[in-house]
Amino acid sequence: MEVAIRWLKKLSLSQGDKVLLLNAVTGEWWWVEHNGHCGYVPANYLHGACEEEDSDVDDPWQDEEYYGSYKTLKLHLEMLSDQPRTQSYRNVIMQNSQALKGKRILDLGCGTGIISFFCAQLSEPEVVYAVEASDIVEQTRKLVEENGYSRVIQVLGQRAEELQLPTKVDVLVSEWMGTCLLFEFMLESVLLARDLWLKEDGVMWPSTARIHMVPCCADREYSSRVHFWDSPYGLNFSSLKPMAVQEFFSTPKPDYVLKPEDCLSQPCTLLDVNLKTIKIEALERMSSEFQFHVDCDGTFHGLTAWFSVQFQNIDSQEQVDLDTGPFNPLTHWKHTLFMLDQPMQVRTGDKIAGSAVFTRNPIWRRHLSVTITWSITSPSQNTEQNGCKVFPIWR
């Protein structure tokens, strides 16, 4: 079977060949190795035993490693130190202080309990269920005791999936956002809890979530990793450049900081998710078209993505917006840079059109891949260039 995919690597296979599954990158394309060659193969062309270690496949959510990473203070310190993030939740609760009086609130994945404390401190809810599956929850219990909120905050040390509450709640608040919004797919747990425990007219905080993207110049990033090999110490190491592109740019850079002046056009909103209505199964694959009008000459190195979430006020049309993008104060999420293999020169008036497809990993349930397809049309240079690249996050 000759699998000659135009823009991806060619891999010659015959019926009955065995390949090693390296990465079920998307539901449609799997990255495999055959006789020392790697390439993408349509997933529906393959069947049979998975080469993965059985023990690995037993834990597709990698819960032990995942909750293990939240039992120490490192990640909680990072999240609490993130002022724009934490203050946004505090502002929402402050703005809705009256509306929250006497209400039942579920804080899902409460960590150290900061959001639950804001609810108990700034309003007078009937009860706040603070749910946390990692071992940090033992500390959270103590903090509630030591701060005198045991009457209001009930700490439940369990996974949302096992939750048993005496009644449904009026508000489901959670800080669930990961790299590129979706990584970790804690969102599935939030939606499960919504479907089981949120009243019909209940409120989701955040209420909506959006992924934004913009084409950008990333010269320092590209030069330091690829052009570096042109002449280190006067020697010609340029034959290493393809290996450098593969090694450094096959996955996105999750801690990139995009400067406004490196944007090549206005950003666009790729996804706009209503968290009250989206169905869990919709998370498997979400896609969006984009069209950027280049508004300055420059080198198009890649596309940078970030997310924003909106919190709808209970008694008014106002909303609080937490935007993690380059035009707002930096957050611990920073920005996610999808670097192309080959930079291209673009001019004002050029158009970069294409699509971004967010495909959840069918095996590793906290992971996804982003397939970006682009086409650049340049009236001034009378050229058209196009391409496609699949970025696993992280499997």
Ligand X SMILES: N=C(N)NCC[C@H]1O[C@@H](n2cnc3c(N)ncnc32)[C@H](O)[C@@H]1O
CB nearer to ligand X: pick between 177 and 294: 177
By CB under 6 A, name the one of 93, 177, 216, 340 that touches ligand X: 177
How does strand 127-131 pair with strand 104-108? parallel
Is residue 311 close enough to count as binding ligand X by CB under 6 A?
no
Q: Does the annotation mark 161 as catalytic?
A: no
Residue 287 C-beta: closest distance to ligand X, Å: 23
Q: Select which of 51, 64, 175, 284 is catalytic.
A: 175
Residue nearest ligand X, Cβ-based: 109
Is residue 186 close enough to count as binding ligand X by CB under 6 A?
yes
Cα separation of 342 and 332, whole Å?
29
Cα 164 to Cα 129, 154, 316: the distances in Å are 11, 13, 31
CA angle, residues 171, 172, 175, in degrees to nearest 5: 135
Q: Does the annotation mark 184 as catalytic?
A: yes
Is residue 82 close enough to count as binding ligand X by CB under 6 A?
no
CA 222 to chain centre: 23
**Piece in contact with ligand X (CB under 6 A), picked from 18-26, 158-166, 230-238, 342-350:** 158-166
By CB under 6 A, name the one of 70, 129, 307, 364 that touches ligand X: 70
Is residue 189 close enough to count as binding ligand X by CB under 6 A?
yes
By CB under 6 A, name the one of 11, 21, 109, 197 that touches ligand X: 109
Residue 97 C-beta: closest distance to ligand X, Å: 24
Sequence-separated (6 or more) residues with CB below 8 Å from residue 301:
216, 217, 218, 219, 221, 222, 339, 340, 343
The 8-class DSSP code of residue 317 comes to: S
By CB under 6 A, name the one of 22, 33, 67, 254 that touches ligand X: 67
**Piece in contact with ligand X (CB under 6 A), picked from 29-37, 98-106, 154-162, 241-249:** 154-162
Sequence-separated (6 or more) residues with CB below 8 Å from residue 169:
103, 104, 105, 106, 129, 197, 198, 199, 202
Residue given tokens 């006789």 in the structure block: 35
Is residue 307 close enough to count as binding ligand X by CB under 6 A?
no
Q: Return the SS3 of 140.
A: helix
Among residues 346, 369, 323, which one has the least CA distance to residue 26?
369
Phi (first) and psi of residue 187, to 5 degrees: -55, -35
CB nearer to ligand X: pick between 65 and 124: 65
Is residue 160 close enough to count as binding ligand X by CB under 6 A?
yes
Q: Select which of 184, 221, 247, 384 is catalytic.
A: 184
For ligand X, what does the binding mask look like between residues 113 and 152, x meaning CB under 6 A?
------------------xxxx------------------
Residue 155 C-beta: closest distance to ligand X, Å: 12
CA angle, residues 111, 115, 120, in degrees to nearest 5: 125
CB nearer to ligand X: pick between 308 and 378: 308
Is residue 176 close enough to count as binding ligand X by CB under 6 A?
yes
Pick left, alpha or beta for residue 184 (phi over 0 → left; psi -120 to 50 → alpha; otherwise beta).
left
Is residue 84 close enough to count as binding ligand X by CB under 6 A?
no
Token output for 269: 């909103």
**Piece in contact with ligand X (CB under 6 A), picked from 47-55, 95-103, 141-149, 178-186:** 178-186
CB nearer to ligand X: pick between 139 and 355: 139
Phi (first) and psi of residue 313, to 5 degrees: -60, 150
**For 222-367, where are the E strands, in sequence order?**
253-256, 268-274, 285-293, 298-312, 319-323, 335-346, 351-360
Residues at the site binding ligand X, with contacts judged by CB under 6 A: 67, 70, 109, 111, 131-134, 159-161, 175-178, 184, 186, 189
- Active-site residue list: 175, 184
